[in-house]
Structure 1
Amino acid sequence: MRVALIAFIDKPDRRVQNIMQKMANAAASKGNQVDAINGNEDLVNTRLTVYDYIAVCTRPQGLFGGKLPRRISDFLATSGTISGKKGCALVLKSGFSSAKTCKNLMKALEAEGLMLDYFDIVGDEDHAALVGKKIG
């Protein structure tokens, strides 16, 4: 199965890079072909139509509020047909609004037509390895 692991994270630090790598490796260990995509870059030619499963990962934009980056809806709207595809919503634990951010991310992905079969709030690298096995 072709899996797109899309990260919408401003200024990823070492911890975030390790978490994303663990998730990608764990998903690939199940036999999936995983492509890690940075959603914050200007990817005009990125088309998600070729992927069977779309995993979207972000982190809260502040300590409170649960706001999502505007780039998520813009990116998904211009990246081809994703309606009817399976996917998951992942949020990196940060601040007090991780649960609300996850809820808002799920709502945004479902508005684009994705059928979510999994969601989680990722706390550390060990948890990321477990989450990665559920992707795909």
Structure 2
Amino acid sequence: MRIAVISVPSQRKAPPDYVVSLAKGMESMGHRVDVIDAWTDDGMRLPGYEYIVVAAEPLSFFSGKMPEALTKVLSGGSSLGGKKSAAFLRKSGPFSAKALTNLMRAMEKEGMYINWSDIILNAPHAEALGKRIGS
């Protein structure tokens, strides 16, 4: 299966270790995985994927808000309605559940069908979650 992993860190930087581990877990199961940086990519390639995974983190430790790069990359990909997807959030602070809700709302606003969501604790946990996608 072709899977796009959208990395949405709180600020412009290389994909964090948990995103790389998530992709590594999916690749170990035989999937073709591309990591897309939400800060630099426009999202035009997203409709070509069978499954879309969004791995995000909130703006700050005490915030449930998502970075503006998330809405930019999701709105850039036309025809995402009905696309199967998963929402993952890196655990950070007391408002992680609120941030995960905000992440899923942004995805559902674009018409994506979220069939799995979870909070990532660390890189090994992310790799284990990646191995469960598509099984």
TM-score (norm 1): 0.89
Contact 2:25 2:127 in 1 (8 A): yes
Give the Å deviation of 1:12: 4.4
Cross-structure match for 2:27: 28
TM-score (norm 2): 0.90
Cross-structure match for 1:61: 59
Give the Å deviation of 1:30: 1.4
Between the two proteins, the alignment pairs up a number of residues equal to 133
Give the Å deviation of 1:4: 0.2
- Aligned to 2:89, the other structure's residue is in SS state strand
Are residues 1:4 and 2:24 paired? no
Task: Name the aligned partner's letter for residue 120 of structure 2.
Answer: V
Contact 2:6 2:38 in 1 (8 A): yes
- Paired with 1:117 and 1:54, the residues of 2 have a C-alpha distance of 11
Task: Name the aligned partner's letter for residue 46 of structure 1.
Answer: M
Runs (4 or more) in structure 1 with deviation over 6 Å come to none
Match among 76, 79, 83 for residue 77 of structure 2: 79
Task: Name the aligned partner's letter for residue 90 of structure 1.
Answer: F
Cross-structure match for 1:131: 129
Task: Name the aligned partner's letter for residue 25 of structure 1.
Answer: K
- Aligned to 1:116, the other structure's residue is in SS state strand
- Aligned to 1:49, the other structure's residue is in SS state helix
- Aligned to 2:48, the other structure's residue is in SS state coil
Residues 105/96 of structure 1: CA separation in 2 closer, same or farther (3 Å cut):
same
- Paired with 1:92 and 1:31, the residues of 2 have a C-alpha distance of 24
- Paired with 2:84 and 2:31, the residues of 1 have a C-alpha distance of 14
Q: Percent identity?
A: 35
Aligned-CA RMSD value: 1.7
Are residues 1:100 and 2:98 paired? yes
